[in-house]
Amino acid sequence: MIEQLYKTGDLPDNELKKLIENNEYGQELYKKADNVRRKYYGTDVYIRGLIEFTNYCKNDCYYCGIRKSNTIAERYRLGKEEILSCCKNGYELGFRTFVLQGGEDTYFSNELVSCIVSEIKKLYPDCAITLSLGERPYNDYKAWFNAGADRYLLRHETANDKHYRKLHPDSMSLENRKNCLWNLKKIGYQTGSGFMTGSPYQTTENIIEDLRFLQELKPDMIGIGPYISHQNTPFGNNKNGDLHLCLRLLAILRLMFPKALIPATTALGTIDPKGRELGLMAGANIVMPNLSPVKVRKQYQIYDNKICTDEEAAESRVYLEKKVLSAGYKIVTHIGHVCLNEHFLQP
């Protein structure tokens, strides 16, 4: 099965199910996934400087610590000058991609985000800008792209409508989420999607639907991370996702999408101290250290016990560099676009 996945980039559902559910396939999957990542990216690991600039959100996803109904969350917004100062710091530390991430905060209008993006692009024309601001109208996405944004991250979270409804209130819909993703692709963004592993009510069949949706979407970036509960949410007592399930899925994604940009996420490092190294060894090729000011880091608490909330950006850069080296790879200060050739290995 693994050989077939390696050679063709695909498997029938019943075989994917076996790989997803059985840990005995783990080591072989990781080996093959590493093989594929080395073929396209060598030992390079791209770094992205994450700037979490607002934790206000109009949505109420049941799993998220900064959902609007969490009245205990202390809210913050960074101003344009603060965001630019994070970029300056990041640029001096060798970052060539800035990821502007936030809740769905309507304070950041089409015009304001356009102004911030064009200012960053003017100051750092050799850098890529990734936005992750949730679901917005087509015209907002288009204006930000025209202002200089290169990439957009919007995880679909689950491609199954029934499952989506169990994780989100009625005001949100999977249909709209998918439409946003198609709009981003149409506009020309390098588009990223992804899902949580081990989220409440998730079945293996749901995960297979996620993989099938990604095959249809053909994203440039795929982010997955284990579900981790947050105490002030309706799912506060649910159990966290399993490290090994997430690692197996990272490897399966690398084999299905050989050239995709796949992060070893902070959530992976939160459920296990070696999670990010293991993620890299299972096929991931991106790490995203935090460039947000330390004073607001703890407030962007989308799940409990999130790591890296105390270190300055420079410290976390050095710390991650060591971790990446210990896993057998090296951080590069490249802009780190996706390999632009054919997306899939030909059978």
Strands 330-332 and 286-287: unpaired
Coil/strand/helix, residue 3? helix
CB of 103 to ligand SF4, least distance (A): 4
Least distance to ligand SF4 from the beta carbon of 54, Å? Answer: 9
CB of 79 to ligand SF4, least distance (A): 20
Give the footprint of ligand SF4 on this chain (CB under 6 A). Answer: 57, 59, 61, 64, 66-67, 103-104, 134
Cβ of residue 220: shortest distance to ligand SF4, in angstroms? Answer: 21
Between 61 and 288, name the residue whose CB sits nearer to ligand SF4: 61
Q: Shortest Cβ distance from residue 61 to ligand SF4 (Å)?
A: 3
- Closer residue to ligand SF4 (CB): 59 or 231: 59
Is 59 or 240 the residue whose CB approaches ligand SF4 more closely? 59
Radius of gyration from C-alpha coordinates of the chain = 19
Torsion of CA 32, 219, 288, 201, to 10 degrees: -80
φ and ψ of 106, to 5 deg:
-70, -10
Indicate the SS3 state at residue 273. Answer: coil
Specify the residue, 134 or 263, whose C-beta has the smaller distance to ligand SF4.
134
Q: 14 or 171, CB closer to ligand SF4?
A: 171
Q: How far is the CB of 48 from ligand SF4 (least distance, A)?
A: 18
At what angle are helices 13-21 and 243-256 packed, to 10 degrees?
A: 140
User: Look-up: residue for tokens 């016990």?
Assistant: 305
* Secondary structure class of 256 (helix, strand, coil): helix
**DSSP state, residue 347:** -
Q: Which is nearer to ligand SF4, 36 or 267 (CB)?
A: 267
